[in-house]
């Protein structure tokens, strides 16, 4: 499972593009994973958007993760769900999910990352790694020292989320992240595909130099 470039769709940042169109442009630029995230949508509207993205990611061979909603993820045949502290407990989601279904967890420390693994998470995301304007309640960034500490303590794929840009992605990879999850650095750019391709290349170069 590759999480190198993990793009989160957000229509409020996406310059008028739909979730599915953002996903289409992101995977055209090499995104390995796409997460549908929309706190505004009803279950039905989220299901409709998720169904469209399911097709896009399936055709591209990219991973598809739904934020918050295990029910929607299961209903559309997504690859997984991303859960935070205010969502379903990981262990309960695990018991409802079929074998091979990916459960990702937002964490903010080594202790919460260790717990997420014990409960059955498949990857952990340090949230937020840096301060971000894309999530109202994100709080201050935890920073690269916490990222590296989680890397050393938790043998799971580690994703950095929050405030990742073309300017800092190399440092994030060097600090031990397996991948980066981004909104504004890709979804907020005029050319989503070119921005994805650029970030993907920077990640590959940084990994080669580790």
Stretch that binds ligand TZP, among 43-51, 90-98, 167-175, 181-189 (CB under 6 A): 181-189
Give me the least distance between CB of 98 and ligand TZP, in Å please.
Answer: 25
Residue 35: contacted member of ligand TZP, Mg ion, none (CB under 5 to 8 Å, by partner type): none
Q: Is 45 a catalytic residue?
A: no
Per-residue HEC secondary structure of 17-75 comes to CCHHHHHHHHHHCCCCEEEECCCCCCHHHHHHHHHHHHHHHHHHCCEEEEECCHHHHHH
Query: Annotation-wise, does 36 bind a ligand?
Result: yes
| Cβ proximity to ligand TZP, 8 vs 20, nearer residue | 8
- The yes or no reply on residue 68 touching Mg ion (CB under 5 A) is yes
Bridge-partner residues for 80, per DSSP?
A: 65, 102
Stretch that binds ligand TZP, among 40-48, 91-99, 116-124, 126-134 (CB under 6 A): 126-134
Q: Please spell the DSSP secondary structure of 162-175, one letter per residue.
A: SS--TTTHHHHHHT
Is there a contact between 126 and 161 (Cβ–Cβ < 8 Å)?
A: yes
Distance CA 29, CA 85 (A): 31
Take residue 156 and report the two structure tokens written for it: 């799971």
Give me the least distance between CB of 91 and ligand TZP, in Å please.
Answer: 22
Take residue 167 and report the two structure tokens written for it: 């300017």
Pairing assessment for the beta strands 33-36 and 63-67 based on DSSP bridges: parallel
Candidates 37, 69, 197, 202; catalytic one: 37
Residue 68: contacted member of Mg ion, ligand TZP, none (CB under 5 to 8 Å, by partner type): Mg ion
Give me the least distance between CB of 183 and ligand TZP, in Å please.
Answer: 3
- How many CA atoms within 13 Å lie on the side-chain side of 108? 8
Residue nearest to Mg ion (CB): 84
Q: Is 37 a catalytic residue?
A: yes
Is there a contact between 97 and 70 (Cβ–Cβ < 8 Å)?
A: yes
Stretch that binds Mg ion, among 23-31, 83-91, 114-122, 155-163 (CB under 5 A): 83-91
Query: Annotation-wise, does 68 bind a ligand?
Result: yes
Which of 144, 208, 141 is CA-nearest to residue 177? Answer: 144
- The yes or no reply on residue 127 touching ligand TZP (CB under 6 A) is yes
- Interacting residue ranges for ligand TZP, rule: CB under 6 A: 8, 37, 127-128, 132, 134-135, 138, 161-164, 182-185
- Residues marked active site are found at 37, 106, 135
User: Which residue positions form the known binding site for Mg(2+)?
Assistant: 68, 87
């Amino acid at each position: 499972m590759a999480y190198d470039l993990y793009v989160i769709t957000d229509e409020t940042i996406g310059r008028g593009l739909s979730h599915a169109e953002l996903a289409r442009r992101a995977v055209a630029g090499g995104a390995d994973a796409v997460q549908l995230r929309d706190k505004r949508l009803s279950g039905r509207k989220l299901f409709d958007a998720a169904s469209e993205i399911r097709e896009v990611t399936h055709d591209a061979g990219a991973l598809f993760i739904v934020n918050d909603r295990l029910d929607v993820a299961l209903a559309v045949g997504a690859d997984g769900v991303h859960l935070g502290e205010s969502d379903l407990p990981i262990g309960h989601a695990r018991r409802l999910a079929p074998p091979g279904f990916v459960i990702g967890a937002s964490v903010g420390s080594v202790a919460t990352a260790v717990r997420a693994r014990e409960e059955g998470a498949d990857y952990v995301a340090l949230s937020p790694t840096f301060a971000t304007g894309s999530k109202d309640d994100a709080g201050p960034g935890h920073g690269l020292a916490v990222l590296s500490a989680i890397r050393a303590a938790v043998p799971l794929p580690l994703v950095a989320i929050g405030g990742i840009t073309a300017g800092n992605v190399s440092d994030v990879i060097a600090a031990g992240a397996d991948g980066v999850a981004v909104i504004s650095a890709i979804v907020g750019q005029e050319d989503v595909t070119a921005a994805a391709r650029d970030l993907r290349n920077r990640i590959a170069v940084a990994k080669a130099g580790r």
